[in-house]
Chains A and B, each alone.
Chain A
């Protein structure tokens, strides 16, 4: 079953067609890797799907429901969450608060009269332990190391409790032990039946983690299908190795 579909999706930045008539489908409950050379539109795809950048054409549907003019604050309601290629945390807030703000009530009055503080605190602790940041809970997010910041951003995405996770290069720049943690997170999400879209350059990780692969080139779909078969196709090898 397809949980996310795009039809003729396009995104233009004055002059540049970052996405150019892209039609693809993301399988529910699977890990789909999105690959392609630098500048092929991978991050733009995530930005458009998460409402952070408005699309300039085409359609997006979640579980068969067409999204009209989506804005960033709408996508959470459709069960979509994401991380950013360039980590974006709430830097001058501490590690714990970075998660709590995602866990607590989202409407203004509910937020003033918070009623489930304890439950949220417990969930935040659980997530911080998972990414090995519990000891750092009172430190400012802006003061963490690069890898710790990436892990915190992943924990923040998990805190949203979404069904669809768009991870933009979550492994980039991580030490091996941190790579292990993120791998564990992805495996667990998959086991829970969540949908993961994973932008990644490392082929070993993709072979290990992804059920399916989508290959972009110049904002267009170059190939899609099961991991091993798709990675073996000649045009994919050329696009990737030719860069």
Chain B
């Protein structure tokens, strides 16, 4: 049962990351491979405020969201000069830069040793310490992010970002400044990713840079693509599927140690097969 709750919490965290990245990649067509950077900024800012300053978790999360959005604003401004494949490469570059800051800015991040003993959230005196209440809180945040994302994609703003994905030059002719739209959705996506980072830090109670490497960005990208580009429900589905995948492998008879290692390979194979036979993802309508 505990293990099931653990998986469900991971589902909530990756669901939030999937929704966040889908706004950027699926709806706007910006192939960002920097998701782990914003996830990491969210986790580190939350952890530092909790551990070093004794802040309340929710206030720390709020600051983490703002910090991540601010970082995204700077990165997004630079990225807006790139298009297509170069965009992906440049965002990858930023992912690596942020990762190496986590790793090397020892005075603040404690480098590879990471930050231990991160406390659990305190909600008006009630400590969300046990796994079951943590799951409830995580699901509440997931729901919140889902509702906000749905509002965004169904608004005129959501229609505009899809038009940018379809033909940026053509939509500009009708008076849109595409760069503003691309920046704003990138910043919103980064803010949402920071929520996932905060939840992760306080849940695991320990963070180190390895969680926020480029591998993680690719994992979230796999969630988005597998679930379906420009499909919010798809991202939830993709998160559930990829979080449960190691368990499925174990279930069909792979030994524990191999199942864990097979994970990466299976993601890879899945992605390739999907791109070949169903490039719009399992539930999506759109193609990259």
Contact = CB atoms under 8 A, between A and B. Distances in A.
A94 B103 CA distance: 46
B173 A112 contact: no
A106 B159 contact: no
A135 B166 CA distance: 23
Interface stretch (A2-10, A77-85, A190-198): A77-85
Contact of A72 (B156, B172, B181): B172
B167 A90 contact: yes
Contacts of A52: 169, 173
Contacts of A50: 173
A73 B156 contact: no
Interface in A65-98: 71-73, 75-77, 81-82, 84, 88-93, 97
B52 interface: no
Given A92-B286, A93-B163, A100-B156, A108 B174 contact: no
A104 B154 CA distance: 13
Secondary structure type dominating chain B contacts: helix
A182 B156 CA distance: 29
A128 to B, nearest CB: 16
B166 A76 contact: no
A239 interface: no
A111 B188 CA distance: 15
Interface string B173-187: 111111011001000
A73 B166 contact: no
A216 to B, nearest CB: 22
Contact of B156 (A77, A104, A156): A104
A72 B160 contact: no
Contacts of A44: none
Interface string B230-242: 0000000000000
Q: How large is the interface on A (under 10, 10 to 19, 20 to 34, 35 or more residues)?
A: 35 or more
Contacts of B6: none
Contacts, number: 91
Contact of B162 (A84, A92, A104): A92
Contacts of B171: 90, 101
A117 B171 CA distance: 19
Contacts of B70: none
Contact of A93 (B166, B169, B181): B166
Contacts of B177: 73, 106-107
Interface in B128-168: 152, 155-157, 159-160, 162-163, 165-167
A190 B125 CA distance: 72
A111 B160 contact: yes
Nearest to A74: B175
B256 interface: no
Interface string A103-119: 01111101111100100
B77 to A, nearest CB: 15
Contact of A82 (B156, B165, B167, B173): B173
B285 A92 contact: yes
Contacts of B169: 52, 72, 88
B170 interface: yes
A102 B174 contact: yes
Given A92-B162, A111-B157, A106 B167 contact: no
A101 B167 contact: no
A160 B174 contact: yes
B159 A101 contact: yes
A90 B166 contact: yes
A147 interface: no
A37 interface: no
Given A90-B170, A108-B184, A112-B152, A73 B175 contact: yes
Contacts of A73: 172-173, 175-178
Given A90-B170, A97-B162, 10 more contacts: A72-B169, A73-B178, A77-B175, A82-B173, A90-B166, A90-B167, A91-B167, A101-B163, A114-B155, A114-B156
12 contacts: A73-B172, A73-B177, A73-B178, A75-B173, A92-B166, A93-B166, A101-B174, A102-B174, A108-B180, A112-B156, A112-B157, A114-B155
